Structure 1
Amino acid sequence: MTINETLSRYSDLSYGTAFVVYLLALILFCAQLASVRTESLKLTVPVGVSAGPVPPAFDARVPGRIVESPPRSMSDRLGNMGLSLVVVAFVFHLGALVLRGVATQRVPWGNMYEFVTLTCAAAVLAGLILLRRPDLRTLWVFALIPVLILMFVAGTVLYANAAPVVPALQSYWLPIHVSIVSIGSGVFLISGVSSMLFLLRLRFAHSSVDSKLGTWMRRLPEAHVLDRLAYKTTIFAFPLFGAGVVLGAIWAEAAWGRFWGWDPKETVSFIAWVIYAAYLHARATSGWRDTRAAWINIAGFVAMLFNLFIINMVVSGLHSYAGLN
């Protein structure tokens, strides 16, 4: 199989561009988060004084008279600019995957570098869908930080030159199994971050202790909003990840002659799936819906990260296809 080195270099360039633009978007979202409290203080109305209704587009008192809409706040403008940069970066991100696939003439998730790239793209896409509301855009700060960390690790430690996959991965199951698992993992990233922020929001929302962390946490959406976001994303990702595990077992039977062999990757994937099942059960059980369920969700997220890195890079097994030199 011939590798197109030119397209491979363009893929790497697109990947680096996406990383830089994501970083710029993170800076804008940090500025947005920092401006929330300042603007709320400016707009505070003294006790006993009515702020009045928002001016309508047309003044009802004078027919035909148009009243100008109030200007957008600095927080809104920063959020809109940050979201625009995320969209641009996502296009470059997808471009890196497409160019890598065309350069290698295969699906671009045959090693750890490509798998993490696809997982991060899935996480960003989930964010574009779930965090599109203006009141949720401050959460982009905490969604982009793990994405940038993963992309940095993938582009440095996990990077592999464009090349054909090993014979064991040359199967039609590769694009099906790996894509489903990576998409589920990317959505789980949003879920895990939401549960972490939910616990921090509860901890500092009504705390009398004044701290920088508490100040930042009080600028986030309400705790119940974060908890609902974590729950909705898990509901979506859980069946995807479960389907990925089942399809992986079918592939294992075709490749190795058995559906399940308790390989380290299979075992930890099953453990993570069970933890997320426990979270969904706890979330629907009275007495477990708040902090206890959130801790279970975080445990599932940790298991996912352990499965993604430690199992692939450290533990030897049948799934050791990291592509590392």
Structure 2
Amino acid sequence: MSALSELLVAFAILAYLVSMISHAVEYALGNARAVTAAPARELVGAGVGGSGGSADVPVSPAPAETRRSRSAERARLAGRIAAWVTALAAVLHLGALVARGVAAERMPWGNMYEFVLTVTFIGTAAWLAVLWKRPALRRLGLFLTLVMVLLLAFAELKLKVQVVPLMPALQSYWFVIHVSTIVFASGIFLLGVVPAAAFLLRNGYEAGKRSFPYILARRLPGAAGLERLTFALHAFAFPIFTFAVIAGAIWAEAAWGRAWGWDPKETWAFISWVVYAGYLHARATPSVKRNVATWIAVLGFLTMLMNLFGVNFFFTGLHSYAGVN
């Protein structure tokens, strides 16, 4: 089952890569517009034997319009393919997690490799739910699948470890409660940073900036919709993250005799909580510009990355369960 899990992860990465390429095709052809107006008609004389007459003769669309129509159709097809391949990747991704859990005879969250696999799956599943409700946001899939390819490839190359039993310190019912909620919230935050970054680019483009990288945002959905999606995802994830931190403190009290000890991971979890709380407060404050608030959300995700990768690689503490050197 462990070998099957690794094989499914490899296939999932390939599927995400195919989806990313398909999204890129849609994005590249995104300026095309189908010809929707009826063909123009012009009056053509049809006199015979000196008598005059007229007939309305349809004029074929111009070659440029025909090319744009075909490009638009190809873009839509590429986008639909990308969405379905992303769904396939999510199925493979889930299969890899299930196989890993069966092999380990526990929930697949016991080390850094398994944590990354689960967080990225949650992000993909949440993206598919958003896409189901709001198909107009499909072009964001290019950036989402790029993130998935990078994170899963990094996990396979640098974080992968053999299946081992759960460490004694983690053998508690709080393991499921605390880690499941922190994984779920982290996956939503992972998805949330995608429209946040897209909003910052699109907002700059709508403000008249045409330098790199703002020019990349010319085919993204409108800035207002991206900003609302960013807020909705963070507002949904933050209470879950708050509960996860509280559950971790309760577990620490039961396991180590203290609820909080400023362990590196505890410290960075608190920093992340403060930053995300600051984002939600700034978003609710009318005097704070939306781009300023969104930058705080991006900063929050950077602190999450620090908590996930930086703490495990550069610090040693009671939460050193990464399984990597």
Q: TM-score range by the shorter chain?
A: 0.7 to 0.9
What is the distance in 2 between the residues matched to 1:183 and 1:148? Answer: 19
**Is the 8 Å Cα contact of residues 109 and 118 (structure 1) preserved in structure 2?**
yes
What is the distance in 2 between the residues matched to 1:323 and 1:214? Answer: 40
Match for 2:24: what amino acid?
C
After TM superposition, give the deviation of residue 83 of structure 1 in Å. 0.7
What is the distance in 2 between the residues matched to 1:31 and 1:196? Answer: 21
* Equivalent residues in 2 for 1:28-177, closer than 5 Å: 28-37=22-31, 39-40=32-33, 43=35, 73-132=73-132, 133-177=134-178
What is the distance in 2 between the residues matched to 1:97 and 1:324? Answer: 19
Which ranges of structure 1 fall in alignment gaps of 5 or more residues? 1-6, 50-69
What is the distance in 2 between the residues matched to 1:171 and 1:156? Answer: 30
**Is the 8 Å Cα contact of residues 205 and 217 (structure 1) preserved in structure 2?**
no
**Is the 8 Å Cα contact of residues 131 and 139 (structure 1) preserved in structure 2?**
no
Change beyond 3 A, Cα 1:44–1:306: farther
What is the distance in 2 between the residues matched to 1:173 and 1:245? Answer: 12
2:273 corresponding residue in structure 1 = 273
Q: CA deviation digits over 1:35-54, x for unaligned, max 9?
A: 111x13x6497xxx9xxxxx
What secondary structure, in the 3-state scheme, does the structure 2 residue paired with 1:251 have? helix
Verify: 1:299 aligned to 2:299, yes or no. yes
After TM superposition, give the deviation of residue 216 of structure 1 in Å. 2.8
Q: CA deviation digits over 1:246-305, x for unaligned, max 9?
A: 110111011100111111111110111111111111111112141110111111111111
What is the distance in 2 between the residues matched to 1:73 and 1:212? Answer: 28
After TM superposition, give the deviation of residue 141 of structure 1 in Å. 0.8
State the structure with more CA Rg.
Answer: 2
Moved over 3 A (4+): 42-45, 211-215
* Equivalent residues in 2 for 1:139-288, closer than 5 Å: 139-207=140-208, 209=210, 213-288=213-288
What is the distance in 2 between the residues matched to 1:165 and 1:324? Answer: 15
Which ranges of structure 2 fall in alignment gaps of 5 or more residues? 41-68
What is the distance in 2 between the residues matched to 1:101 and 1:277? Answer: 33
- Percent of residue pairs identical: 45
What is the distance in 1 between the residues matched to 2:162 and 2:138? Answer: 36
Aligned residue pair count: 294
Match for 1:25: what amino acid?
S
Q: CA deviation digits over 1:119-142, x for unaligned, max 9?
A: 000100110011333311100111
TM-score when scaled to structure 2?
A: 0.86
After TM superposition, give the deviation of residue 207 of structure 1 in Å. 2.2
Q: CA deviation digits over 1:200-259, x for unaligned, max 9?
A: 1111224264x5644431100000011001000001110111111011011101110011
**Is the 8 Å Cα contact of residues 313 and 320 (structure 1) preserved in structure 2?**
no
What is the distance in 2 between the residues matched to 1:76 and 1:297? Answer: 31
TM-score when scaled to structure 1?
A: 0.86
**Is the 8 Å Cα contact of residues 19 and 89 (structure 1) preserved in structure 2?**
yes
Change beyond 3 A, Cα 1:212–1:43: farther
What secondary structure, in the 3-state scheme, does the structure 2 residue paired with 1:274 have? helix
